[in-house]
Amino acid sequence: MTHRVKASPIRIAAAALLAGGALFVIPAQADQGFYLGAIGGVTLDPDANVRFADGEGGTATDRAEFETGPAGSFVAGYTFASGLRPELELGYRRAEVSDSDARTETAQGTASLYYNFSRNGYFFYLGGGGGYAQVRLDAGLFGEDDDGTPVYSVGTGFGIPVGKRLMLGVDYRYVGAFDRTNYNYAVEDLTLAGSFKYQSHFVGLSLRVSFGSALADSHPVQRPVQPVKVVPVSN
């Protein structure tokens, strides 16, 4: 499976999110308050150049291809009446390395600032932020090791109301590392070091519950006002 074929579902999903957002480019309305949520979906880590060093001056580079894997996040944030929405996200990603028994497992936390474009309870958002990722590389028979790195994140998505306080949505995230993560393994009597730069695309379905203004309250149905008829009273 080539990188181009694997990445196409992510590109299609991202394009659909951006196209859907064109319907919401109007000032945000007053859905506001604290919320909690969960996102479940899949992750695709782009192919990575892995560098190896054997501790005796020998070096090599290989190309690691990653399979689509499971991913999920818990989110918490606050939506302001202006449309600004700061959010904290704690996530987990897992990806198998193609044609091997190796895999990566990543626990990451990010703080982001999004902006909601809303219409009648529906919303589309854009934004980004940064945080930290702890990446564990399980190299099969060679053992496993982990390392951490600062990361940046960009995200988009849209949501629809499914109740007074519930929102169902589709979310996309891209997370990239600022630094390479480094790993050390003992292969027989030789110490082998490897490193690569972590990246991840993530698409998932989300469910958020609001503890602030109810959707039905923040977007009330405007009922037409009936004119008052004045009936003359005769003596």
Tell me the average pLDDT of the chain: 82
216 contacts 164 by C-beta, under 8 angstroms: yes
Burial group, residue 126, by CB count within 10 angstroms (0-12, 13-18, 19+) = middle
pLDDT (tens digit, 9 = 90+) per residue, 59-115? 888 888 999 999 999 999 999 988 899 999 999 999 999 988 889 999 999 999 999
> Looking at the DSSP assignment, which residues form a beta bridge with residue 134?
107, 148
Tracing tokens 């909601």 back to the chain, one arrives at: 116
* This prediction's pTM: 0.78
pLDDT band at 38, cuts 50/70/90? very high
For residue 79, give the amino acid letter: T
196 contacts 176 by C-beta, under 8 angstroms: no
As a whole number, mean pLDDT of residues 4-33 equals 54
pLDDT (tens digit, 9 = 90+) per residue, 198-232? 999 999 999 999 887 544 333 444 455 566 666 66
Question: What DSSP assignment string belongs to the chain?
Answer: --HHHHHHHHHHHHHHHHHHHGGG-S------EEEEEEEEEEEEPPPEEEEEE-SSS-EEEEEE-B--EEEEEEEEEEE-TTSEEEEEEEEEEEEEBTTSS-EEEEEEEEEEEEEEEEETTEEEEEEEEEEEEEEEEE-GGG-EEEEEEEEEEEEEEEEEESSSSEEEEEEEEEEEEEEEEEEEEEETTEEEEEEEEEEEEEEEEEEEEESSS-HHHHS---PPPPPPPPPP---
Q: Which pLDDT belongs to residue 235? A: 58
- For the chain, the 3-state helix, strand and coil shares in percent, each to the nearest 5, are 10, 60, 25
6 against 211, higher pLDDT: 211
Give the angle 44-45-51 at the CA atoms, nearest 5°: 160
Query: Whole-angstrom Cα distance, residue 205 to residue 215?
Result: 20
